[in-house]
A and B are shown apart, each in its own frame.
Chain A
Amino acid sequence: MTADVETTTETRSPWKLWAGAGTAMLVWLALYRLNRGFWEWLLFDTFGLDPDSHGGGAVEFFFYDTVKIALLLTGIIFAVTVLRSFMSVERTRALLGGRREGVGNVAAAGLGVATPFCSCSAVPAFIGFLAAGVPLGITMSFLIASPMVNEVAIVLLYGLFGWRVAALYVGAGLIVAIAAGWVIGRLHLESWVEPFVFETTMRGQPVDLSIHLSWSDRFTIGREEVASIIKKIWPYLLVGIGVGALVHGWVPEDFFVRYAGPENPVAVPVAVGLGVPLYSNAAGVLPLVEALHAKGLAMGTVLAFMMSVVALSLPEMILLRRVLKPRLLAVFVGVVATGIVVVGFVFNLVL
């Protein structure tokens, strides 16, 4: 894949570029359609595994799911990255400057989803927003929505649970980001931000490098993003799917209904409590979570767990500690975690 990226810097004719994109899309669709049939043919018809046995089911689940998720990730990360290349953190900041709270929180959460953003840049973005006069609460809405409603999570939820659950997750994620940012804004905690943030002065113009990109550049960025995400998450993904396959094969059908069904009030807070310190990504947790849900773990509990894993992580806390005093960091974690618990309960009630 690296070699592929290296060669794309030479300028290609637009015709070739779009023909290449079209071919890639057809190959992708064909692979996606053939996936299930291929593994059934290979494992059951050719190798003679029994589809109804524990082992046979687990092996088929592992191969079929791995290929399906890899295909979904590749296709959708590419598309999302190309679309997002029209946005930038700089443009988002300009759009948020001077917004009132409320409307501003909604805009910030929405832009958090649309803007290309890596949580490794959370600190410079935080400083950049505040120094440019974007209110603290609105900045927080952006910083919460961005990792929570991320494309990997949405892809996996769609692939494993269908579009309804994926849409619910996006809606709930936005609501948590809007509400938590709004609450933090209302608390007026600016004095709990490290003082150097407000003392930062900008020299020169803010840079927005997204405007000069050609389609070829955008496709290259898309390919690079796919390669870097897959490279980063594939071990988690394989372990997650592997454990998920074991659960599928061997854990009894209604195991979690007994211990963590929708009626159990402790299940959601426990799931969130487990999720917050857990350092993983959506890719590692979701295949496992899907298997747990198949064995009776309630959907609200599943989604709350997922949100707490991706929205609140220890490495991000350590980064944010550079700009937030411990008290504000604690408020941040508390408010977001509370929001997620509420969402979990509501889903368990309505689903």
Chain B
Amino acid sequence: MNIKVLGSGCTNCHTLEQRAVAAADLLGLDVVVEKVTDYGEIASYGVMSTPALVVDDQVVLAGRVPTVAELQKMLA
């Protein structure tokens, strides 16, 4: 599973990344977490509010930081 965190390095993006890793760990998933900070690339996903979460090239969340529990549901 490939997870991308889209965002330009703000605090929220960092929190989202940490929580995504924590959620994947709890689920025992084998994931690669990638950070996308390039604005052109972020926009190319159709995302206009950061941070956003992309799972296997599908945008599943944009504009807020969910809890670890919510993330577990999204990744499961």
Give the B-binding residues of A (Cβ under 8 A).
5-6, 9, 88-90, 93, 116-118, 120-121, 123-125, 127-129, 131, 196-197, 199-207, 209, 221, 224, 322-323
Contacts and interface: CB of A to CB of B under 8 A. Distances in A.
Contacts of B69: 6, 9
Contact of B39 (A209, A224, A322): A322
Contacts of A196: 40
B11 to A, nearest CB: 9
A93 B49 contact: no
Which of B44, B47, B48, B67 is the most central at the interface, judged by chain A CB atoms within 10 Å of its CB?
A: B48
A123 B39 contact: yes
A9 B70 contact: yes
A204 B46 contact: yes
B46 A123 contact: no
Nearest to A217: B70
A120 B49 CA distance: 8
B67 A125 contact: no
A203 B12 CA distance: 25
Top 3 nearest A-B pairs (CB, nearest first) are A206-B46, A127-B43, A128-B48
A120 B63 contact: no
* Band of interface residues on B: 20 to 34
Contacts of B46: 90, 128, 202-207
Contacts of B50: 120-121, 124
A207 B47 contact: yes
Interface string B17-55: 000000000000000000000011011111111101000
Contact of B40 (A93, A200, A207): A200
A124 B38 CA distance: 10
Contacts of A203: 44-46
B76 interface: no
A128 B43 contact: yes
B70 A323 contact: no
A125 B48 contact: yes
A261 B70 CA distance: 54
Given A6-B69, A9-B67, A207-B59, A121 B44 contact: no
A2 B44 CA distance: 33
Contacts of B12: 120
B30 to A, nearest CB: 24
A200 B43 contact: yes
A207 B8 CA distance: 19
Contacts of B64: 221, 224
Contacts of B49: 88-89, 116-118, 121, 124-125
7 contacts: A88-B49, A89-B48, A118-B49, A127-B40, A206-B48, A221-B64, A224-B64
B10 A120 contact: yes
Contacts of A201: 44
Given A128-B46, A207-B52, 14 more contacts: A6-B69, A89-B49, A93-B48, A121-B49, A123-B8, A125-B48, A127-B40, A128-B47, A131-B43, A197-B40, A202-B43, A205-B46, A206-B46, A207-B62
B61 interface: yes
B62 to A, nearest CB: 6
A193 to B, nearest CB: 13
A89 B64 CA distance: 13
Contacts of A89: 48-49, 63
B47 A124 contact: yes
Contacts of A204: 45-46
Nearest to B42: A124
B44 A202 contact: yes
A119 to B, nearest CB: 11
Nearest to B64: A221
By CB atoms of chain B within 10 A, which of A89, A124, A207, A224 has the most?
A: A124
A199 B47 CA distance: 16
Nearest to B66: A9
Contacts of A120: 8, 10, 12, 50
